[in-house]
Amino acid sequence: MQFIIAPAKKMQVDVDTFAPETLPEHLKQTAEILTALRALTPAQRQKLWQCSDRLAAASEQQLAQLNLKGPLTPAIIAFVGIQYQAMAPDLFTESALQYIQAHLRILSGFYGALRPFDGIVPYRLEMGSRLAVGNAKNLYEFWGARLHDQLDFTQGPVINLASVEYAKAIRPFLTPDETMLDITFGRMVDGKFKTRATQAKIARGSMVRYAAMNGLTQPEQLKAFDHPHYQFSPSRSTASEMVFEYHD
């Protein structure tokens, strides 16, 4: 099986923890996106980023200095959001690092589907951003089936730990013999089963860590996910969705 996760908005440059082993597969497409992004006015970019004036100013500076040649940071270290903090890849064993390189892909609107040790640079661009690139009116249309085609369905089901925004880049291109198993982390709130974003991000990172540290190879093994609050819920789960319910 192979896991897919979303990237994080918060990124860093770290050339000390691990060295990049590979380059992103679709750097030509990334360069096209960068050109399209730089062709916008600052006001258009702020609207695209949907951020405050302070963040827009920082993002403008980042964009002006962005060089696809580096310095490069492995993707698994470059992203430092809540999910990645919970995963803590810098504390992985050597076998766990090898596991994620084979079994984990990070979906990016800027780079495509990233392997953990693909060298990347910080950027600000969400997959759902309405950025026209060439004849494509948005990033979903621009990438088309490329992200899907970067996944290895010969390993078995793709385990979807990504957000809806990023899973949407894969789902339309699934063939009848390909399976994507959705993982949902939720809890009962006022009589309704809901997903809390922050808790779910932490759980997603923790599940990747659990799989990597234990070398899991079958979706069934995920049911034993070792978490202090989330437990597998057979009654809420289906053949296409594995649900974990939060308990205090």
Instruction: Determine the average pLDDT of the residues in 111-116.
Output: 98
pLDDT of res. 95 = 97
Written as one string, the DSSP assignment of 160-196 is: E-S-HHHHTTTGGG--TT--EEEEEEEEEETTEEE--
Instruction: Determine the average pLDDT of the residues in 15-40.
Output: 96
Q: Do you find a cis peptide bond into 71, omega within 30 degrees of 0?
A: yes
3-state helix, strand, coil in the chain (%, to 5): 40, 20, 40
Residue 204 is inside which H or E element, if any? helix 197-214
96: pLDDT strictly greater than 90: yes
User: Percent of the chain, pLDDT > 90?
Assistant: 94
pLDDT of res. 155 = 86
Terminal CA-to-CA distance of the chain, rounded, Å? 30
pLDDT tens digits along 78-90: 999 999 999 999 9
Instruction: Determine the average pLDDT of the residues in 46-56.
Output: 94
Place of tokens 């993707």: 75
pLDDT of res. 151 = 97
Beta strands (DSSP E) in 100-175 are 104-108, 112-114, 119-120, 158-160
Instruction: Determine the average pLDDT of the residues in 118-143.
Output: 96
Q: How many domains does the chain have?
A: 1
Instruction: Determine the average pLDDT of the residues in 32-47.
Output: 96
120: pLDDT strictly greater than 90: yes
Strands 112-114 and 158-160: unpaired
pLDDT tens digits along 181-240: 999 999 988 889 999 999 999 999 999 999 999 999 999 999 999 899 999 999 999 999
Check if the beta carbon of residue 77 is closer than 8 Å to that of residue 18: yes
pLDDT band at 70 (very low <50, low <70, confident <90, very high): confident
pLDDT of res. 40 = 96
Kindly state the tokens that stand for 83. 């999910």
pLDDT band at 53 (very low <50, low <70, confident <90, very high): very high
- Can you name the residues that pair with 242 across neighbouring β-strands? 183
pLDDT of res. 125 = 97
Enclosing domain of residue 63: 2-246
